[in-house]
């Protein structure tokens, strides 16, 4: 089970300097989302806090991009962004319930042992015995 601090995320979203004035409309949009708080971090960056069960960075940045905001695209920012996407995706999968078992494993194992399945040696028995 994850501790509450593991599922509370604090991320930085960096906007491209052009066009200017993206921060205020982005803050207004982000603060409308339930369970997410946003604050200005700098002239081109915003800090967001959210629970991983409700939001993920990828969805938030996709929302901003679809609304016409221009996010920073430098190599370092893209690497950080994709690492955060991957980590959050894995963490969200791990928070979910495990998939139910759909196979009856003992029955499959019994059928496997009774059926020839290719794990046999084609060498004649007299050649396999050391005399």
In a domain, 88, yes or no: yes
58 in any annotated domain: yes
Is residue 123 one of the residues assigned to a domain? Answer: no
Task: Answer yes or no: pTM beyond 0.75.
Answer: no
Confidence of residue 101 (pLDDT cuts 50, 70, 90): low
Q: Which residues, 6 or more positions from 113, have their beta carbon under 8 angstroms from its beta carbon?
A: none
Domain residues for the domain of 74 are: 4-95
Predicted local confidence at residue 88, as pLDDT: 92
Q: 19-78 pLDDT, tens per residue?
A: 999 999 999 999 999 999 999 999 999 999 999 989 999 999 999 999 999 999 999 999
What does DSSP say about strands 36-40 and 8-14: parallel, antiparallel, or unpaired?
A: unpaired
15 in a domain, yes or no? yes
Give the orientation angle of helix 57-66 with respect to helix 75-95, to 10 degrees. Answer: 130
As a whole number, the mean pLDDT across the chain is 85
Domain containing residue 36: CATH number: 3.30.70.100
Task: Describe the crossing of helices 57-66 and 23-30 by its angle, rounded to 10 degrees.
Answer: 120
Q: Is 56 part of any domain?
A: yes
Report how many domains make up the chain.
1
């Amino acid at each position: 089970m994850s501790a509450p601090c593991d599922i509370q995320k604090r991320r930085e979203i960096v906007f491209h300097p052009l066009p200017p004035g993206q921060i205020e409309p982005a803050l207004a949009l982000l603060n409308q989302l339930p369970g997410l708080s946003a604050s200005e971090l700098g002239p081109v960056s915003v800090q967001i806090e959210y629970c991983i069960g409700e939001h993920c960075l990828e969805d938030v940045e996709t929302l901003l991009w679809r609304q016409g905001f221009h996010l920073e695209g430098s190599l370092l920012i893209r690497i950080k962004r994709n690492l955060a996407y991957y980590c959050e995706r894995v963490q969200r999968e791990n928070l979910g319930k495990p998939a139910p078992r759909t196979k009856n494993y003992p029955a499959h194992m019994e059928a496997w042992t009774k059926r020839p399945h290719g794990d046999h040696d084609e060498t004649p028995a007299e050649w396999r015995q050391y005399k």
